[in-house]
Amino acid sequence: MTTTPTTTLEHQADTWPRSFRLLYTAALIDGVGFHIGQLAVPVLAVSLLAASPGQVGLLGALSTAAFLLIGLPAGVWVDRLPRRAVLVTADLTRAALVASVPAAWWAGWLSMPQLYVVVLLTGVGTVFADVSAQSYLPELVGRDRLVAANSLLMSTNATMQIVGRGFGGLVVQALTAPIAIVLDAVTFVVSGLLLARIRAAAPHRRPARAAGGFGRQLGAGIRHVTGNPLLRPLAISTASINLTMQLTTTMLPVVFLRELGLGAAALGLFLGVGGIGALLGAVTARPLAERIGHGRALWLPGLLVAPLGGLVPLIDTGPMLWVAALGWLALAWRTGVGNVIGVSLRQGATPDALLGRMNATFRFLLTGALTIGAALAGLLGQYVNVRTTLLVGAVANALTWLPVLCSPLRTLNRPPTAD
């Protein structure tokens, strides 16, 4: 039985169990803080610590480096531990780390090395939070509602990109970056307290160690992704999207604050346009997939709109700012569609016992691509120029739909169901 197209996410949200509503609310609040911090930290580095393009690139790389360092083993640990406890611990730990930045600034001790350490360790918490949340979701809503739940969560995240980045830009502009980072820390605390209230009775999971040693369990998760003809091209395509988008995102603070002479508020509003695109993508993903099939919904938007990313390197003051914003909107819409369909597909294709390791493997690849993209952006920005970095990102992004087109995903109508 198919869901009628007139069913809205808001109506469905009325029927969600309390446990999912708490997870959703925590994600909403956490999302505001995350996007504020994501803007405030590089702005603080550029405006208060006079960071170079290379240092900004290193900062961006370290913020996601934890996925490369511990992303894969984190999946094994998540499959062994209570997922709610992991989520709460990750939020409260990140709150303490983030709060150390404004504290050091007010004390006159803040330096780039401290920022490097904070973003790296905060990334460790994000590894566990992201893997646990995606692995917890099927347990809270059931596999038959994964597309609807992911669409709601991705829509919320996109909304937070709009609100969080726009609000963050205004806060940074009016009250300074350290105060914006304080708000980031507060949202982590509130999110953790909400997650602690989840009382869902999770089904008993056999301890992962019973299926073999740590190395064998780790390998099973990797093989599940790399050996699956549907998951492998999805991972390659999505990692490529992340890498190419990060080339642009990392250099935007340098372009806005140093090259164009625009303020943090303008940067936040520009990034917020991407949030609008991601929101539109998350909302339209489900009806689009139902109309043309889940596989086509993964590659056709890339073919149609990714070339519009070539407008972003043309960014300048005046009308060209709006032209570049249109390209950024199109890229973000395509990414929003892919996030909903791709996450639902990989959750549906994975047995419960492998969810943590599957999600960790994807996070290792996808967020690892962000790390590489940020580092590459820093190198190109430092030793070539910032505009070339934006151009490389745009050209490469226009090709990222090809792995899906050249795979069995090309004509997949509906996500598979794990045994």
pLDDT band at 58 (very low <50, low <70, confident <90, very high): confident
**DSSP3 helix / strand / coil % (the chain, rounded to 5):** 85, 0, 15
Predicted pLDDT at 2: 34
**Domains of the chain, residue spans:** 12-199+217-411
Q: How much is the pTM? A: 0.69
The neighbour count for residue 318, using CB atoms within 10 Å, is 7
Per residue in 131-185, pLDDT (tens digit) is 888 888 888 887 778 778 887 887 777 777 677 666 777 777 777 788 888 888 9
- Crossing angle of helices 146-175 and 264-292, rounded to 10°: 170
Residue 338, C-beta contacts closer than 8 angstroms, at least 6 positions apart? 237, 238, 241, 281, 298, 301, 302
Per residue in 117-143, pLDDT (tens digit) is 999 999 999 989 988 888 888 888 877
- Give the integer Cα–Cα distance in Å for 278 and 408: 26
pLDDT band at 8 (very low <50, low <70, confident <90, very high): very low
Per residue in 317-335, pLDDT (tens digit) is 889 999 999 999 999 899 8
CB neighbour class for 81 (10 Å; exposed up to 12, middle 13-18, buried from 19): middle
The separation between the first and the last C-alpha atoms of the chain, rounded to the nearest angstrom, is 20
Per residue in 373-382, pLDDT (tens digit) is 988 998 998 8
Residue 417, C-beta contacts closer than 8 angstroms, at least 6 positions apart? 143, 348, 349
Q: Give the mean pLDDT of the chain.
A: 84
Token pair belonging to 260: 């164009």
What's the CATH architecture for 12-199+217-411? Up-down Bundle (1.20)
Q: Which residue has the tokens 């029927």?
A: 15
